[in-house]
Amino acid sequence: MWHAKASVRLEKTVEAARAFHNVLENEEGLKLIKSDNETVNLALIAFEYGAITLMNPSDDYLKEYLNTLDKVDDTTAIIKAYFDAAPDTITMFLKDGIKVDPTREQSYVLLGRHYISHNKFDKASQLVDNLAKVNPDAPDVSYLKGRIFLGKKSYDSAATYLLDAIKGFSSQLSKLNEKTAATLNEASGLNLEPADIDKMISAIHDLEASKKEVSAEDKIELLKTKYNLSDPNARYILRQFSSFTGKKRQLAEAYDYLGQCYFSQSKYAEADSAFTKVIEADQNKFAAYFYKGLSLYYMKSYEKSIAPLIKFTNKIANNYHAELFLGLAYLKMDKPQPDKAEQALLKAKDIKETADVYRALASACREQGKNRNKDVQKYIKKAMELEKK
C-alpha cells in the first residue's frame, strides 16, 4: 500500500494505479483501501489519472516506459504493443475506481468515453444506465447517450440528447459564474455580475492564446489591471480558473458532436452555428474551424468560409482537404482570387495528388488569363491520367 500512495505523490499515476489494483486483488484489499478517506482519494486519483495518462501518453511518458524495459530491439513494435494493451488496462483502472467509489461520476464518464472511442456501444449504454442511477440529472448522461447514437449514425436521437447535455452544461457554467461573483461580492463588497466573471475567464484564455508561455503572475496582473481586482480577489479567480476551463471544455465538446450530427445530415446552417459555439467555448478546438469553413462553403458562403479555413491551416499543417476547399472557395467568390486559389491548391497537390486538385488548378490558371494556357492543359492532362487509374 505504501508504494501505491508514494507513487501518487510522485505523480507516477500509472504505477500507482497498478499498485492499487494489486491491493484490490487481495481478499481484504477493498476494505483496506476504504479504511480511511485519504487512501480512497489517493486510489481514485491513481485510477482516473492513470487511465488518462494511458489514453493520451506524452512523449516523456513513452520514453520513461521504454527505459523500464531490459532490452529494446524494435521500438516501433514495442510502442505498438503498448497501444494494443492500453485499452484493456484503461478499462481495468476505471472499473477499479468505480469499485472503490460507486458514486463517483467521473469514473463512469471516463469509462463511457473510453468505450465509445472503441465503438463498444453496448457496454457504453450499460455504463450510462449505471451512471443515471447515481445521478439521473447529470448532463453527462445525455452527453454520453448522444455520443452513442452519433456513433451508431442515429443523428436525430444524437442531436436530441446532445442539446439536452448542452442545456445542462450551460446551467452548470452559469451557476459557477453566479457563485464566484457572489463570493467576491460578499467578501470584498464588490458589485460584480456573473457576466463579469465570464469576461475575466475569457480574458485569461485570450492571454494564453496570445503567448507561448503565460505565468500565474501574468494572469493575476491582467485581472488586477484590466478589472481593478485586488490581489487576493485576482488570486481567487485564478483558483477557480480550472473549474471554468473544465466546464467550458465539456460545453465545447457537446457542441462539437452536435455540429458533427448536423454536418452528417447536410444541415449546414445548424452545423455552422454549432461549430461557432465550439470556438466560443474553446479556441483550441481547431477542427471546429475546419468544419465551420466547410459548412459555410456548402452553404455557398464562399467568402465567409475562407477565414475559418485559414485559421485551421495556420494551426494544422498538411491537411489536404482544408487546402483544397480553401482553394475552391477563392475560385468561387463573387470576385475570384485565382492567385490565392493556386497557392492553396499547390499545397493540396503536394500533400496528395488527385484529379480534383488538378482540375481545380486548371481552373485557377484559366482565371489568370491566356498566358497560363500551357499550365491549364498540363493540369487537365494530369487529372485525366489520374481518373483512368
Query: DSSP string spanning 5-41?
Result: HHHHHTT-HHHHHHHHHHHHHSTTHHHHHTTSHHHHH
- Rounded mean pLDDT of 234-258? 94
Q: Report whether 115 contacts 131 (CB < 8 A).
A: no
Its domain, for residue 274, covers: 137-285
Cβ contacts of 339-348, under 8 Å, gap ≥ 24: 339/368, 341/367, 342/368, 344/313, 347/323, 348/320, 348/323, 348/324
59 and 169 inside one domain:
no
317-340 residue pLDDT tens: 899 999 999 999 999 999 999 999
Q: Report whether 139 contacts 172 (CB < 8 A).
A: yes
C-alpha dihedral, 337 to 338 to 343 to 349, nearest 10°: 130
Q: Pick from 285, 314, 340: which residue ends a domain?
A: 285
pLDDT of 373 > 70? The answer is: yes
127 and 31 inside one domain:
yes
pLDDT of 56 > 50? The answer is: yes
115 and 148 inside one domain:
no
Looking at residue 135, what DSSP letter applies? Answer: -
128 and 16 inside one domain:
yes
pLDDT of residue 345: 97
pLDDT of residue 9: 79
How many domains does the chain fold into?
A: 3
87 and 195 inside one domain:
no
Rounded to 5°, the CA angle 13-115-123 comes to: 125
Q: Pick from 133, 159, 179: which residue ends a domain?
A: 133
Q: Report whether 331 contacts 363 (CB < 8 A).
A: yes
97 and 204 inside one domain:
no
97 and 177 inside one domain:
no
Q: Pick from 253, 285, 317: which residue ends a domain?
A: 285
- 15 HSE (CA, 13 A, CB side): 15
Please state, for a pLDDT cut of 90, what percent of the chain lies above it. Answer: 78
273 and 293 inside one domain:
no
Confidence (pTM): 0.88
161-182 residue pLDDT tens: 999 999 999 999 999 999 999 9
pLDDT of 234 > 80? The answer is: yes
118 and 225 inside one domain:
no
64 and 158 inside one domain:
no
In Å, how far are 36, 291, 326 from 309, measured between CA atoms? 53, 8, 6
- Rounded mean pLDDT of 12-31? 90
Q: Write out the three cell numbers for 326.
A: 480553401
pLDDT of 130 > 90? The answer is: yes
Among 144, 18, 169, CA closest to 88: 18
To which residue does cell 481593478 refer?
A: 228
246 and 309 inside one domain:
no
Q: Write out the three cell numbers for 387.
A: 481518373
- Calculate the average pLDDT of the chain: 91
148 and 270 inside one domain:
yes
pLDDT of 75 > 70? The answer is: no
The SS3 assignment for 238 reads helix
pLDDT of 65 > 60? The answer is: no
- Rounded mean pLDDT of 49-60? 81
Query: Measured in whole angstroms, how far is the alpha carbon of residue 290 from the centre of its chain?
Result: 14
User: What gap in Å lies between CA 43 and CA 384, rounded to an integer?
Assistant: 62
pLDDT of residue 58: 65
- Rounded mean pLDDT of 356-369? 95
- Rounded mean pLDDT of 338-355? 96
pLDDT of 351 > 90? The answer is: yes
pLDDT band at 210 (very low <50, low <70, confident <90, very high): confident
* CATH code for position 342: 1.25.40.10
pLDDT of residue 362: 96
Among 162, 355, 114, CA closest to 264: 162
pLDDT of residue 388: 87
pLDDT band at 72 (very low <50, low <70, confident <90, very high): very low
More confident of the two residues 168 and 63: 168
Q: Report whether 165 contacts 140 (CB < 8 A).
A: yes
Q: Which letter, b or e, does each residue of 21-48 get, where b requires 16 or more Cβ atoms within 10 Å of its Cβ?
A: bebbeeeebbeebeeeeebeebbbbbbb
- Rounded mean pLDDT of 104-133? 96
- Rounded mean pLDDT of 269-280? 96
Residue 237 CB contacts under 8 Å (≥ 6 apart), including other chains: 180, 184, 197, 200, 201, 223, 229
